[in-house]
Amino acid sequence: MNDQVLYIIDFDVTEGKETDMQQLIEDLMESTSKESGVLNYHWAKNGNIYDSLEHFESSKAAYDHLTNFAENFAERYMSLGTVISTTVYGNPNPAVKEILDGFEAVYKQTIANYSK
């Protein structure tokens, strides 16, 4: 079975903290670019709703990323707004689920997948 993990986090940035959020995203992009097993790390926004799409080749890669995030960025991230939703695709292991559950994750069962 494919061990890839993909999740999308919708985050409501507090008004007036957009500049701080942009700086955090730049710092996250730089840090994540050095991690192994990252297939896609994408940020988008609509108004003050910021989305991150995070795709990893394995639960290990997702866990490593989430651990780095928790140690270096989580406090700053949470000071800038509120998580609206977290949708998870793939087959994350229990350790990854435990972390994502802190973001009130909803898990979608994969019924078909094509990936190179």
pLDDT in tens, 25-59: 999 999 999 999 999 999 999 999 999 999 999 99
Whole-structure pTM over 0.85, yes or no? yes
Within a domain: 73: yes
| Close Cβ partners of 5 (under 8 Å, ≥ 6 residues apart) | 55, 56, 58, 59, 61, 62, 88, 89, 90, 91, 92, 96
Structural domain including 88 reads 5-107
Within a domain: 112: no
Within a domain: 94: yes
| Number of structural domains the chain divides into | 1
Task: State the CATH number of the domain containing residue 87.
Answer: 3.30.70.100
